[in-house]
Amino acid sequence: MIMRRSLLVLAMPTLIVFVAFWLLPVARLLEVGASGPTGARLYLAVLTEPSYARSLFATVMLSTSVTVSALVIAAIAGFFLERHDFRGKSMLVALLGFPLAFPGVVVGFLIILATGRQGLLATLSGWLVGERVVLAYGIGGLFIGYLYFSIPRAILTIMASTAKLDQGLEEAARTLGASTWQVTRDVVLPGLAPAFVATAAICFATCMGAFGTAFTLATSLNVLPVMIYNEFTNYANFPVAAALSIVLGVVTWLILAGARQLSGIGAAASA
């Protein structure tokens, strides 16, 4: 009995946080989403209505492409940085993490300065080929912006995981005649697989819910966070905004859960 009471006391802070910051807000969103004229059918409507469906699809595809790109870049850069020492390495690693200090609006502003109508890319392309290339206000600008704040998170996570790898296993594989590619494929990548899954989850979830950068850049591409903002601020359509919020959260959770499941199956198969 004393043990049960002790466990209950220890679990109480977690339970309070769960109820106050997850259960109650989500329950309220579900209630508001079902408070419209069509009731709970609104959740199906926001999935089948073309503009909402296109926005959801664009958000998922953009987040997926950014996540994959960030993982590839971070895997190469993070492994190299952790395994090699050179002058200025500490400063370089610190600078790589600097974009994490910027809010989304600042990231969007930087992308406009670089790839906007009067940005560096437009100026250089106009000078070189006679045509100003503008990426900032569409899918290209959002991709660059999301990648900009995703890469630092990914690199720092991969570096931390690379530091924990047992290099003795790599040496043993080389002693048995394995090539560099075989060591990478059979030893390094499986060892970093949990870090890849964790990094992908962080990057994907962050991109799915990113608002500041999307709000600054998405003039020709209405991603779901911006659409939710427009629904409850410009149109005061609270049921639709709540339903879209629930759909965004559920879709993100399902994709992340599926990715974790697949990664677990892949790890079991390789073992």
DSSP state of 35: -
Cα(94)–Cα(242) distance, rounded to whole angstroms? 39
Task: Please say if the pLDDT value at position 24 is more than 80.
Answer: yes
DSSP state of 235: S
The crossing angle, in degrees rounded to 10, of helices 238-270 and 24-33 is 120
- Is there a contact between 57 and 247 (Cβ–Cβ < 8 Å)? no
Burial class (CB in 10 A: 0-12, 13-18, 19+), 229: middle
* Listed range (5-9, 11-15, 126-130, 240-244) with the worst mean pLDDT: 5-9
Cα(26)–Cα(41) distance, rounded to whole angstroms? 18
Instruction: Give 220's Cβ-side CA count (13 Å radius).
Output: 9
Cα(1)–Cα(12) distance, rounded to whole angstroms? 16
Q: Where are the beta strands (DSSP E) in 90-138?
A: none
Task: Please say if the pLDDT value at position 209 is more than 50.
Answer: yes
Burial class (CB in 10 A: 0-12, 13-18, 19+), 271: exposed
For residue 73, name the pLDDT band (cuts at 50, 70, 90).
very high
Three-class SS state of 212:
helix
Domains belonging to the chain, first-starting first, are 34-270 (1.10.3720.10)
For residue 266, name the pLDDT band (cuts at 50, 70, 90).
very low
Q: Which helix (H) or strand (E) holds 96?
A: helix 89-96
Radius of gyration for the chain, computed over Cα atoms and rounded to the nearest angstrom: 23
Cα(89)–Cα(251) distance, rounded to whole angstroms? 39
**Span 98-130, pLDDT tens digits:** 888 888 899 999 999 998 888 888 888 888 888
- Is there a contact between 199 and 71 (Cβ–Cβ < 8 Å)? yes
Q: Which pTM value belongs to this model?
A: 0.85
- Is there a contact between 99 and 108 (Cβ–Cβ < 8 Å)? no
**Span 55-64, pLDDT tens digits:** 999 999 999 9
For residue 271, name the pLDDT band (cuts at 50, 70, 90).
very low
